[in-house]
Amino acid sequence: MFSHVKELQYNAKPERPDPVYAKKLQEILGGQYGEMTVMMQYLFQGWNCKAEGKYKDMILDIGTEEIAHVEMIATMIAQLLDGAPAHDQEQGAKDPAVEAVLGGMNPQHVIVNGLGAQPNDASGYPWNARYTIASGNLLADFRANLNAESQGRLQVVRLYEMTTDPGVRDMLSFLIARDKMHQNQWMAAIEELVKSQGAVVPSTFNPEFEKQEVAYSFMNFSEGEESSTGRWVNGKALDGVGTFNYVQNPGAGQVPFLKVPPNYTHGTPPTNGVNPMQ
């Protein structure tokens, strides 16, 4: 159960309205790597976690914090829209400066949301639950979480560079710092799990069912050989089991041959005049 308190986790108050920046800020709210995504991703990982103990507790800790981040950004967007009522758009025809500003804002912020935030990205695309990952394998999930926090922090940093508003930057600096912590957190959890489960997901699959002759081969499928100098082609593999090797000219498998479909499908007949079905 969650209980709401009136205080935000951190300050979210801009110095001045900026409806165009409010549109940009929607990306870290309802975008693929926005706060709504990590909030839902972590909560469902925690709720679905069968391993009671520190990992489940940690996942739900951070998932709950992400609810706070959603509220902070939504609050910031609403305040950035303050002072941008619908009737101001009428002034655009008279004042080119007003037209330039209001012409770049999201009209749905006025029409649909009454000068409030929406669960969409910066292009107006609705948030989608398919952005989230909750596989039931903690190592796989934690690696996905690390990616989400890396992309999220990158986007917040870019948004930081797009504004000079001290209040907005103050809130973003808090989120940037928390994303740093969350990246470190997931890396620490991944390090623990690798020690107990191994580096490759899933570690429970029987290696006898793998084609071991290609399990550690890096195959060159592009022009040039620059890739042959990387760590991924030399020495012990990071799972501690195999040894990397480099394959310059990967072999080929079978040549595919598909039978002509039956006449009732009305497909294209063979161009060489031979029907292998006959």
The total number of structural domains in the chain stands at 2
57 labeled part of a ligand binding site: yes
206 labeled part of a ligand binding site: no
- Asked if residue 10 is part of any domain, the answer here is no
Q: Per the structure block, which two tokens stand in for 180?
A: 């740093």
53 labeled part of a ligand binding site: no
User: What pLDDT is recorded for position 31?
Assistant: 98
pTM of the model: 0.87
**Which tens digits make up the pLDDT trace of 3-46?**
999 999 999 999 999 999 999 999 999 999 999 999 999 999 99
Residues 128 and 245 in one domain: no
User: What pLDDT is recorded for position 151?
Assistant: 98
Strand partners, 219: 247
- Asked if residue 64 is part of any domain, the answer here is yes
Residues 162 and 259 in one domain: no
Residues 192 and 152 in one domain: yes
The residue ranking higher by pLDDT, 109 or 28, is 28
Q: What is the mean pLDDT of residues 167-191?
A: 98
- Cα torsion for 35, 36, 40, 41, to the nearest 10°? -50
Residues 127 and 23 in one domain: yes
Q: Per the structure block, which two tokens stand in for 60?
A: 């739900």
Q: Please, what is the average pLDDT of the chain? A: 91
Range of the domain at 28: 19-197
220 labeled part of a ligand binding site: yes
| CATH, residue 240 | 3.30.1530
User: What pLDDT is recorded for position 93?
Assistant: 47
Instruction: Yes or no: say if 169 and 163 are a contact pair by the CB < 8 Å rule.
Output: yes
Highest mean pLDDT among 25-39, 84-98, 190-204: 25-39
**Which tens digits make up the pLDDT trace of 219-273?**
999 999 999 999 999 999 999 999 999 999 998 889 988 888 888 998 887 776 5
266 labeled part of a ligand binding site: no
User: What pLDDT is recorded for position 90?
Assistant: 54
69 labeled part of a ligand binding site: yes
109 labeled part of a ligand binding site: no
- Asked if residue 137 is part of any domain, the answer here is yes
- Asked if residue 237 is part of any domain, the answer here is yes
182 labeled part of a ligand binding site: yes
